[in-house]
Structure 1
Amino acid sequence: MSRRRFLGSTLAATGVAAGLSTVAGPRAGASPTARTYDAVVVGGGLSGLAAATTLRRSGASVVVLEARSRPGGRVHNISTPGLGATVDAGAEFIGPTQNHIAALTREHGIDTIRTYNRGDSLFWHSGTALRMPADVPLPLHPALAEAGPALLRATADSLAGFPVGQPWKHPDAQYLDSITWAQYVNRFARSDMARNMTSIAMSAALSVRPDEVSALYYLNYIASSGDENNPGTLVRLLSTDGGAQERMLVGGAARIPIMMAAALDERIVYNAAVRSIDTTAGHAVVHSDAGTFTGHKVVVAMSPAICDQIDFRPGLPAARRELQRGYRMGSVAKFSAVYKRPFWREKGMSGQVFGNGRPIDVTFESHTEGHHILMGFISADAMRRLDHAPMSQLARECVANFADYFGPDARDPLDYGVFKWDLEPWSRGGPVAVSSPRTLTRYGAALRASVGPIHWAGTETSDYWTGYMDGAVRSGKRAAGEVLAAL
């Protein structure tokens, strides 16, 4: 088995962006070579990098083909246009039971800091702000008594013994996959405020409307927020302290894929969008913008919602094709405003908001290089409305929205950064792909099932922490294990 290193592209410094990020990236790879790799990995996000790293450390020959001019996929740092402050444009937080991404932070010497979670957070309902202790994941309010306890009880009942990563095996799978999340929660949330709270419990994580996603999908998403020894819970998924938003990475989460890619060195080729994968001969011939590469196996480390960008020859099985059609990316952008001081703390506020405000429905405090940041997500319909709006309009609306939440001091940021994931051609949205009703029960078994020499990775294919960085790393390691077992 040949172990020669592929003479491909080298990792250059990652560029920065103002508004919609443009990256001054590495050079494309060398000319196509006649060698056959043990595995070709399609996608240089966390899942693809984890797969390639695992394969390399096991002695397998591997090459990674990345469409962008940078590594990381949906994990990406940008710089604000004025100050040049580094902000997370994509995935940002890590928390308890996310053991695989935590191990990478230690391996690469990246420090973490706790997300600020003192004072009060805001629950926003149609122009009214309800203050609540920051350490309470769901609002404490009489009008929400019907929703909060019922939501926790209903999800706990549905999650008892949940087949994590295989939701189609749930005893009530057919029913839960026949309805949307909105239909699931509307059984006990009857007031507008209660429905707002149960909706944000889902949209805060997925950036879709509650009527756009299968109830079974989101229950699996909740069940996945743990590990082999700790069952997933809604509280862990939504919480800051003790939950998925507990910590941030100093210098930005993209430091991890940048360091992983640097360690792979010549084994990663940039500007190498894959156009087709031909497996008619029993191995994989991968045609990309940087040339043609051959592997005994291929790992497609991509969201199932965007795999249709690749022409598979022969065609994929019907179940896999229908699975991909049943998934869609959430619509989301991330807006970060940089301030001279954390004035919200002076008002006894955590910087966290959840609710139906527009265009930003969820906010957190963040930090970068000595600066204080209010970061907010623009999701679903609000994002689709602003997809092609001028950046000045988007920034104006977001800053005004921060002023609604935190007062007039929010109107004067020192700088801001924006990244519209909907317009990123190799992601088509974010933060994760979700499935429509009747997709998982009909076609879910095709999510990870290999097709000849093709193996599937990506955070959507993970059992635990699907949709998160930890899930991406888990999925890459699993796919690499499948390849090694089959070589």
Structure 2
Amino acid sequence: MENKTDVIVIGAGLSGLTAARKLEEAGYSVKVIEARERVGGRSFTHHLADGQVLDLGGQWIGPTQTKMYELCKELDLELYPTYNEGKIILYDNGKKTLMGSNNGALPKLNVFVLLGLGLTIKKVERLVEQIDLDEPWNHPKAKIWDGETLDSWIRKNTKIKKVREYFNIVSEVVFSTEARDISFLHFLFYIKSGSGMDNLLNIDEGAQKERIIGGTQEISVRLAKKLKGEVFFNNPVTRIEQSETGIKVFSREQFWEAKKVIVTLPPTLAGRITYQPPLPGMRDQLTQRIPAGSVIKIQVIYKTPFWRKEGLTGQAVSFTGPIKIVMDNSLPNDSRGVLVMFMEANDGREASEWSIEKRTQKAIECLVIYFGQKAADYLEYVEKNWCDDEYTRGCYGGHFTPGVWTGYGKHLRKPIQHIHWAGAETATVWNGYMEGAVRSGERAAAEVVEILCG
């Protein structure tokens, strides 16, 4: 085996494969080392018995995600819109109400609550506009905002219980963790990174606007096929050794040598690799402070999308769990109906302790409450518990706890001798999303090319 190359990329997800492609385009040899038996990372497409596919990882793309749209066009991948016709179910305190699908990020609540919610959102949006995505820690109030959680800020800025509950659901939906766990500065950064709250939460002209025929993992599959260099599967990296002249990367069974390495793993997983010499203390402490969210993604398949005939979008929003968000995930050119839902944050952690039979039961019970008894007559239940995934350990991405941005933020992307960092958590635009992963891969590749060219 020829184990020498110009650059080693660790991780065959969107970030790693994008970086590898850019490096090859610049004329450098690349080897990609992947722990799993597949490409795609947190984009993972499940194949049903008849060949149809369901995305059990990241799946939606929308406006301003230009890199993803460019990739889909280049790789001849077709898109189709997320179904959004009809009414949305809002479930609160045992009461089910309907609201239009054009309400945006605002649910159907009483006038007093809506007014308070609107004012709070406007206040957040004014602060979001002030954030520098490249250096959020440099804002004059950065230490103040980074010293409190989203929950503590909301409690200080509104006395309306339902407004506080709304923001906690936003936290669970966007970060798959509670508002008490997230730095308020990180919340502001993330909202700006994703082009605003409406864009993050909406379907039409929002981040959930479209899906990819064949599944999002197909992007990684096609990118990998275009590479000249080899992708080494089933090789979790255990050690990285640096010297003045280059770098060695070791798995349990092999090793490779290169001039540079790009690590595209989530920060917590990157921190589990042994480095020689050891990483600087600030970088290592950073990896200890960006935990992944907790989520189980569930898809329930029906003979038909029966909710559509009842004038429903298939979407449900509930203030109580364990299923708080449901969407229509039916496939194009298929008569069956599919509902996708999530057990997130504390609900996800609790459900991880249940048997799959209990999770199935609880999910169907929620669907029956939202959509009626027809929801009990399903064909198949499919789930992916990302907390249990050995090489992910949680989704949707890593979130910054209080004090991390101002204490460690400048070390997030800073190269360490021959090591460069990529991955969705390092992105400035669309942080935590597939778009951000692609952008981070391009950025890290450009860093390496600039040095090697010099």
The residue correspondences of 1:262-277 to structure 2 (distance < 5 A) are 262-264=225-227, 266-277=229-240
The Cα offsets for residues 12-61 of structure 1, whole Å up to 9 and x where unpaired, read as: xxxxxxxxxxxxxxxxxxx4x352x2110000111001100111111111
CA RMSD of aligned residues (A): 1.5
Residue type of the partner of 1:284?
Answer: I
- Quote how far apart the aligned CAs of 1:391 are: 1.4
2:394 is aligned with 1:429:
yes
2:443 is aligned with 1:478:
yes
DSSP 3-state at the match of 1:139: coil
- Quote how far apart the aligned CAs of 1:294 are: 0.9
- Quote how far apart the aligned CAs of 1:83 are: 5.5
So what's the TM-score if we normalise by structure 2? 0.95
Residue type of the partner of 1:434?
Answer: H
1:94 alignment counterpart: 61
2:147 alignment counterpart: 178
1:103 alignment counterpart: 70
1:394 alignment counterpart: 359
So what's the TM-score if we normalise by structure 1? 0.89
2:316 is aligned with 1:353:
yes
Residue type of the partner of 1:110?
Answer: L
Residue type of the partner of 1:364?
Answer: M
The worse-fitting range, judged by mean Cα deviation, of 313-322 and 473-482 is 313-322
DSSP 3-state at the match of 1:433: coil
Contact 1:357 1:401 in 2 (8 A): no
| Alpha-carbon distance in 2 for matches of 1:416, 1:337 | 5
Residue type of the partner of 1:106?
Answer: K
DSSP 3-state at the match of 1:306: helix
DSSP 3-state at the match of 2:399: strand
DSSP 3-state at the match of 1:63: strand
- Quote how far apart the aligned CAs of 1:301 are: 0.4
Contact 2:306 2:337 in 1 (8 A): no
- Quote how far apart the aligned CAs of 1:389 are: 2.1
Aligned length: 448
2:283 is aligned with 1:316:
no
Contact 1:79 1:417 in 2 (8 A): no
2:23 is aligned with 1:58:
no
| Alpha-carbon distance in 1 for matches of 2:228, 2:340 | 33
2:42 alignment counterpart: 74
Residue type of the partner of 2:233?
Answer: Y
- Quote how far apart the aligned CAs of 1:151 are: 2.8
The Cα offsets for residues 81-137 of structure 1, whole Å up to 9 and x where unpaired, read as: x66642100000000000001111111111111111121112333433332211212
Structure 2: state its 5+ residue gaps.
none
- Quote how far apart the aligned CAs of 1:329 are: 0.2
2:90 is aligned with 1:123:
yes
2:349 alignment counterpart: 384
- Quote how far apart the aligned CAs of 1:397 are: 1.0
1:156 alignment counterpart: 125
| Alpha-carbon distance in 1 for matches of 2:174, 2:185 | 15
- Quote how far apart the aligned CAs of 1:480 are: 0.2
Contact 1:117 1:134 in 2 (8 A): yes
| Alpha-carbon distance in 1 for matches of 2:156, 2:22 | 46
Residue type of the partner of 1:124?
Answer: Y
- Quote how far apart the aligned CAs of 1:266 are: 4.7
Partner residue of 2:307 out of 344, 352, 373: 344
2:379 is aligned with 1:411:
no
- Mark the CA change 1:130 to 1:177 in structure 2 (over 3 Å): closer, same or farther: farther
1:46 alignment counterpart: 14
- Mark the CA change 1:474 to 1:34 in structure 2 (over 3 Å): closer, same or farther: closer
The worse-fitting range, judged by mean Cα deviation, of 201-210 and 158-167 is 158-167
Identity across the alignment (%): 31
Residue type of the partner of 1:301?
Answer: T
- Mark the CA change 1:330 to 1:308 in structure 2 (over 3 Å): closer, same or farther: same
| Alpha-carbon distance in 2 for matches of 1:411, 1:189 | 39
Contact 1:339 1:414 in 2 (8 A): yes
- Quote how far apart the aligned CAs of 1:165 are: 3.6
DSSP 3-state at the match of 2:80: strand
| Alpha-carbon distance in 2 for matches of 1:169, 1:61 | 38
Partner residue of 1:197 out of 166, 177, 189: 166
Partner residue of 2:135 out of 136, 141, 166: 166
Partner residue of 1:442 out of 400, 407, 428: 407
2:86 is aligned with 1:114:
no
- Mark the CA change 1:145 to 1:273 in structure 2 (over 3 Å): closer, same or farther: same
DSSP 3-state at the match of 2:320: coil
Contact 1:151 1:198 in 2 (8 A): no
| Alpha-carbon distance in 1 for matches of 2:437, 2:230 | 20
- Quote how far apart the aligned CAs of 1:147 are: 3.8
| Alpha-carbon distance in 2 for matches of 1:358, 1:85 | 29
2:179 alignment counterpart: 210
The Cα offsets for residues 170-222 of structure 1, whole Å up to 9 and x where unpaired, read as: 23111110011111222334333222211112221110011011111111110
